Protein backbone atom coordinates (compact mmCIF):
# COMPACT_ATOMS: atom_id res chain seq x y z
CA UNK A 1 0.00 0.00 0.00
CA UNK A 2 1.25 3.47 -0.82
CA UNK A 3 0.58 4.68 2.75
CA UNK A 4 2.98 2.03 4.08
CA UNK A 5 5.92 3.46 2.10
CA UNK A 6 6.63 5.77 5.05
CA UNK A 7 7.35 2.82 7.36
CA UNK A 8 11.02 1.76 7.33
CA UNK A 9 11.90 -1.69 6.03
CA UNK A 10 10.33 -4.14 3.63
CA UNK A 11 7.15 -4.83 5.59
CA UNK A 12 4.67 -1.99 5.94
CA UNK A 13 1.97 -3.57 8.08
CA UNK A 14 1.31 -6.30 10.65
CA UNK A 15 -1.92 -7.77 12.02
CA UNK A 16 -3.17 -10.63 14.18
CA UNK A 17 -5.51 -13.44 13.15
CA UNK A 18 -8.16 -13.80 15.87
CA UNK A 19 -9.71 -16.95 14.45
CA UNK A 20 -13.10 -18.27 13.45
CA UNK A 21 -15.88 -19.28 15.82
CA UNK A 22 -14.82 -22.91 15.50
CA UNK A 23 -11.17 -22.08 16.22
CA UNK A 24 -12.06 -19.99 19.26
CA UNK A 25 -14.34 -22.75 20.57
CA UNK A 26 -11.50 -25.23 20.11
CA UNK A 27 -9.28 -22.90 22.16
CA UNK A 28 -11.99 -22.79 24.83
CA UNK A 29 -12.37 -18.99 24.71
CA UNK A 30 -15.51 -18.45 22.60
CA UNK A 31 -17.45 -17.47 25.73
CA UNK A 32 -14.56 -15.58 27.36
CA UNK A 33 -15.66 -12.08 28.54
CA UNK A 34 -13.16 -10.42 26.18
CA UNK A 35 -14.29 -12.48 23.15
CA UNK A 36 -18.05 -12.34 23.77
CA UNK A 37 -18.54 -8.70 22.57
CA UNK A 38 -16.93 -9.61 19.21
CA UNK A 39 -18.82 -12.85 18.51
CA UNK A 40 -21.12 -11.36 15.86
CA UNK A 41 -18.22 -9.64 14.09
CA UNK A 42 -16.25 -12.89 14.10
CA UNK A 43 -19.27 -14.81 12.77
CA UNK A 44 -19.59 -12.25 9.95
CA UNK A 45 -15.96 -12.86 8.92
CA UNK A 46 -14.15 -10.11 10.81
CA UNK A 47 -11.30 -12.28 12.03
CA UNK A 48 -8.24 -10.06 11.50
CA UNK A 49 -7.32 -7.57 14.24
CA UNK A 50 -5.32 -4.67 12.85
CA UNK A 51 -4.32 -1.19 13.88
CA UNK A 52 -5.10 1.27 11.13
CA UNK A 53 -4.90 5.02 11.20
CA UNK A 54 -8.57 5.01 12.26
CA UNK A 55 -7.66 2.84 15.30
CA UNK A 56 -7.61 -0.84 16.20
CA UNK A 57 -10.42 -2.72 14.52
CA UNK A 58 -11.50 -6.12 13.29
CA UNK A 59 -11.65 -6.68 9.55
CA UNK A 60 -12.33 -9.45 7.08
CA UNK A 61 -9.50 -11.32 5.41
CA UNK A 62 -10.66 -9.80 2.11
CA UNK A 63 -10.26 -6.28 3.51
CA UNK A 64 -6.88 -7.10 4.99
CA UNK A 65 -5.60 -8.64 1.76
CA UNK A 66 -5.52 -5.28 -0.04
CA UNK A 67 -1.75 -5.75 -0.07
CA UNK A 68 1.12 -6.65 -2.40
CA UNK A 69 2.93 -9.22 -0.25
CA UNK A 70 2.10 -11.29 2.81
CA UNK A 71 4.11 -13.42 5.17
CA UNK A 72 2.08 -15.57 7.52
CA UNK A 73 3.93 -16.22 10.76
CA UNK A 74 3.04 -18.23 13.82
CA UNK A 75 4.69 -18.61 17.17
CA UNK A 76 6.78 -21.76 17.12
CA UNK A 77 5.50 -24.49 19.42
CA UNK A 78 2.76 -22.29 20.89
CA UNK A 79 0.47 -24.40 23.02
CA UNK A 80 -3.29 -24.01 23.26
CA UNK A 81 -3.10 -21.71 26.29
CA UNK A 82 -0.56 -19.41 24.60
CA UNK A 83 -2.68 -19.22 21.44
CA UNK A 84 -5.78 -18.41 23.49
CA UNK A 85 -3.91 -15.69 25.39
CA UNK A 86 -2.65 -14.15 22.13
CA UNK A 87 -6.20 -13.83 20.80
CA UNK A 88 -7.47 -12.35 24.07
CA UNK A 89 -4.62 -9.83 24.18
CA UNK A 90 -5.26 -8.81 20.56
CA UNK A 91 -8.99 -8.35 21.18
CA UNK A 92 -8.24 -6.21 24.26
CA UNK A 93 -6.70 -3.67 21.89
CA UNK A 94 -9.79 -3.28 19.67
CA UNK A 95 -11.19 0.23 19.89
CA UNK A 96 -7.96 1.88 20.99
CA UNK A 97 -6.76 4.87 18.97
CA UNK A 98 -3.79 4.70 16.60
CA UNK A 99 -0.37 5.58 18.03
CA UNK A 100 1.02 8.13 15.58
CA UNK A 101 4.06 8.52 17.85
CA UNK A 102 5.02 4.85 17.22
CA UNK A 103 6.10 4.35 20.84
CA UNK A 104 5.89 0.70 21.84
CA UNK A 105 6.02 1.65 25.54
CA UNK A 106 3.17 4.20 25.47
CA UNK A 107 -0.13 3.31 27.10
CA UNK A 108 -3.56 3.48 25.51
CA UNK A 109 -2.57 3.86 21.84
CA UNK A 110 -1.59 1.12 19.39
CA UNK A 111 0.01 0.90 15.95
CA UNK A 112 0.20 -2.22 13.78
CA UNK A 113 3.42 -3.89 14.93
CA UNK A 114 2.75 -2.79 18.52
CA UNK A 115 -0.45 -4.86 18.28
CA UNK A 116 1.70 -7.93 17.62
CA UNK A 117 4.12 -6.87 20.38
CA UNK A 118 1.26 -6.65 22.89
CA UNK A 119 -0.45 -9.85 21.74
CA UNK A 120 2.45 -12.30 21.71
CA UNK A 121 3.85 -12.95 25.17
CA UNK A 122 7.12 -14.76 25.75
CA UNK A 123 8.83 -13.30 22.67
CA UNK A 124 12.00 -11.27 23.14
CA UNK A 125 11.14 -8.55 20.63
CA UNK A 126 13.93 -6.43 19.10
CA UNK A 127 13.11 -2.82 19.95
CA UNK A 128 15.14 0.28 19.14
CA UNK A 129 15.44 3.75 20.65
CA UNK A 130 14.62 6.56 18.22
CA UNK A 131 13.98 10.22 19.01
CA UNK A 132 13.47 9.45 22.71
CA UNK A 133 10.98 6.64 22.23
CA UNK A 134 11.16 2.87 21.90
CA UNK A 135 10.12 1.70 18.44
CA UNK A 136 9.18 -1.64 16.93
CA UNK A 137 8.43 -2.14 13.22
CA UNK A 138 6.77 -4.81 11.07
CA UNK A 139 10.28 -5.85 9.95
CA UNK A 140 11.09 -6.43 13.64
CA UNK A 141 8.21 -8.93 13.72
CA UNK A 142 9.46 -10.72 10.58
CA UNK A 143 13.06 -10.85 11.81
CA UNK A 144 11.95 -13.35 14.48
CA UNK A 145 11.25 -15.83 11.66
CA UNK A 146 14.05 -14.85 9.28
CA UNK A 147 16.79 -15.16 11.89
CA UNK A 148 15.46 -18.42 13.35
CA UNK A 149 13.71 -16.86 16.31
CA UNK A 150 10.47 -17.76 18.01
CA UNK A 151 8.27 -17.25 14.94
CA UNK A 152 7.83 -19.69 12.07
CA UNK A 153 7.09 -18.68 8.48
CA UNK A 154 4.00 -20.59 7.35
CA UNK A 155 3.81 -19.17 3.82
CA UNK A 156 4.99 -16.16 1.85
CA UNK A 157 3.47 -14.38 -1.13
CA UNK A 158 5.46 -11.65 -2.89
CA UNK A 159 3.73 -9.31 -5.34
CA UNK A 160 0.71 -11.61 -5.48
CA UNK A 161 2.53 -14.89 -6.17
CA UNK A 162 3.41 -17.65 -3.74
CA UNK A 163 7.15 -17.80 -3.25
CA UNK A 164 8.53 -21.23 -4.10
CA UNK A 165 11.84 -22.60 -2.97
CA UNK A 166 13.35 -21.28 0.24
CA UNK A 167 10.81 -18.70 1.37
CA UNK A 168 12.96 -17.54 4.30
CA UNK A 169 15.90 -16.80 1.99
CA UNK A 170 13.68 -14.80 -0.32
CA UNK A 171 12.18 -12.87 2.59
CA UNK A 172 15.65 -12.19 4.04
CA UNK A 173 16.90 -10.84 0.70
CA UNK A 174 13.88 -8.54 0.33
CA UNK A 175 14.41 -7.29 3.90
CA UNK A 176 18.12 -6.81 3.26
CA UNK A 177 19.21 -9.13 6.10
CA UNK A 178 21.27 -12.29 6.27
CA UNK A 179 19.37 -15.21 7.75
CA UNK A 180 22.48 -17.35 7.99
CA UNK A 181 21.75 -19.75 5.12
CA UNK A 182 23.91 -20.19 2.00
CA UNK A 183 21.32 -18.67 -0.35
CA UNK A 184 21.13 -15.42 1.63
CA UNK A 185 24.91 -14.85 1.61
Task: Give the pLDDT confidence of 141-181 residue by residue, as tens digits.
Answer: 999 999 888 899 999 999 999 999 999 999 999 999 887 65
pLDDT at 183 over 80: no
Long-range contacts of 113-118 (CB under 8 A, 24+ apart): 113/14, 113/137, 113/138, 113/140, 113/141, 114/51, 115/14, 115/15, 115/16, 115/49, 115/50, 115/51, 115/56, 115/90, 116/14, 116/15, 116/16, 116/141, 117/141, 118/89, 118/90, 118/93
pTM of the full structure: 0.90
The model's pLDDT over 72-93, given as tens digits with 9 standing for 90+, comes to: 999 987 899 999 999 999 999 9
Amino acid sequence: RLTDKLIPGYWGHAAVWSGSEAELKELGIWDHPVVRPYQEQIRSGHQVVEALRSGVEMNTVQHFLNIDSIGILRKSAANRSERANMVIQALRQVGKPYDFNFDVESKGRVYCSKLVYLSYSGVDWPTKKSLGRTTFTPDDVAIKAVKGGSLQLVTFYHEGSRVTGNQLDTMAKLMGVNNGSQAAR
